[in-house]
Structure 1
Amino acid sequence: MPHKKAIVPLLDDITPEAEIVGAVNTVFYHANGRLQGTILDGEGFVHGLINEGYTVSGSHCVLAGAGGAASAIAFSLLKQGCDRLYVQNRTQAKAIELVKRLKRTFPEKNIQAYVPDNQMFDIAINGTKLGMSEEDDLPFSESIIQRSNLIAECVLAPDMTKLLMTAKASGKQIHKGKHMLQAQLDLMLRFMGVDL
């Protein structure tokens, strides 16, 4: 996970989305020896939602995280028509920096580096690694979980994270991290020139 940003300067070129996000998770070695990188976390996440019947356009979302995966997810949510995006991060300065980058690309969108106490959310997304270990804290407060219609996860394993179990026990709809990975596989093949 931490190498998504560190590898960028080593590549010959990156896609526009990867440039805005500042990270890559897929590198293609071209026949001419050039290395091209892209980030598919965000697009994969959004396609995973859509494939499961959820709508992003017009949605109000809250996102935990400001790293490579979370940045890509934020970009793709806004690109697909998310109307309001609230970013929370353990380090507030990183959330503010992400919001500044997003506002340069999406100046018409309502993007904030805080989460209002009374806001209802269509989707709450964990874009952090919290949940990989059962000892991890929840990425969201119980209040945010209660104010969200759908709780979505990026963590692949375990299949049912503490966040998803908490949300399910509260009667919330849940979206597992595996849907992001499944959608990314097709996107990865297309990026590498494989016809599907």
Structure 2
Amino acid sequence: MRVIDGNTKIYGIIADPIAQVRTPHAMNEIIADRGSGAVFVPFHVRPADLPTFVAGLKAWRNLPGFTLTIPHKEATLALCDRLGPMAKISGSVNAVRKTSDGAWEGETFDGLGFVAGLKSQSLDPAGASVYIQGAGGAAKAIVAALADAGAARIAVANRSQDKALALVDQINTIYPGKCVLGSTHDVSAADIVVNGTSLGLRESDPLPIDVDELKPGQVAAEVIMMPDTTSFLHAAEAKGCRIHRGIHMLKGQVGEIADFLGI
């Protein structure tokens, strides 16, 4: 049994809701493997309370950093004093560490983790045509990482078309011509179809993507980790798609996050 005492360092994940997160289990396994004197816990924080909570963490001397997920990835960007390269490109963060001078430094590993997760399942996005639904924090990071990994074409769709267009323009300034505004046709034309939204966390959620446009042989990928197989993945599998679960994105990034946070 791990001993928690006055020397223990505290890390955590900020989310709302929190019950679905699987990061604490994965990070505590890494902590145990590395013999680190630390513990990783969940922080349930409402969006309205986020600035106060993050400001308070600066005063927590034995808290070297934290991670975050829905719906806080974009809002936390403005709470950081410094940003890593992928955070600057994607406009979101999912890990924040306290530097030696007490500043918050944010970076995002969702996109890198998503690409690593694909590759771990022998799915290389280089040269692929991708459709992604969503333009929030996770989706931004994934689009940036897919562009960097050599995806040939990335179609971005979102309920708010303005947000999708802003993401397309942002990525195209760094990777010219990689991104386009997505349409229904792009779903059936893509090699990889990604749900980058939070739809699927709840059983009552509508499907994020029109699965009637899917065809056998496509890869249907998810960012949601709980449930393990979302309604979207069930429907895609029934259409003959190869499904790719959200847990692969987590497994692809936890080691890098642990290194970033100093665990």
Show structure 2 runs of 5+ residues with no match.
1-69
Residue 193 of structure 1 deviates from its aligned partner by 4.5
Show structure 1 runs of 5+ residues with no match.
none
Q: Which has the larger radius of gyration?
A: 2
Cα distance in 2 for partners of 1:116, 1:89 equals 11
Is 1:62 paired with 2:131? yes
Alignment correspondent of 1:12? 81
TM-score by length of 2: 0.70
> Of 208, 215, 223, which aligns to 1:154?
223
Alignment correspondent of 2:233? 164
Residue 20 of structure 1 deviates from its aligned partner by 1.8
Cα distance in 1 for partners of 2:256, 2:217 equals 28
Cα distance in 2 for partners of 1:140, 1:81 equals 24
RMSD value, Cα:
1.6
TM-score by length of 1: 0.93
Alignment correspondent of 1:101? 170
- Aligned-partner SS, 2:130: strand
| Equivalent residues in 2 for 1:30-179, closer than 5 Å | 30-109=99-178, 111-115=179-183, 117=185, 120-146=189-215, 149-179=218-248
Q: 1:156 to 1:131 in 2, by over 3 A?
A: same
- Aligned-partner SS, 1:128: coil
- Provide runs of 4+ in structure 1 moved above 3 Å: none
Q: 1:96 to 1:132 in 2, by over 3 A?
A: same
**Partners of 2:184 and 2:213 within 8 A in 1:** no
Q: Which letter maps to 1:165?
A: H
Cα distance in 1 for partners of 2:78, 2:168 equals 23
Cα distance in 1 for partners of 2:216, 2:134 equals 18
State the Cα deviation string for residues 86-127 of structure 1 (Å, max 9, x = none): 011011111111101011011142x11122627521100010
Between the two proteins, what is the percent identity of the paired residues?
38
Q: Which letter maps to 1:10?
A: L
State the Cα deviation string for residues 6-64 of structure 1 (Å, max 9, x = none): 12222120112101211111001123312110011111111000011101100000000
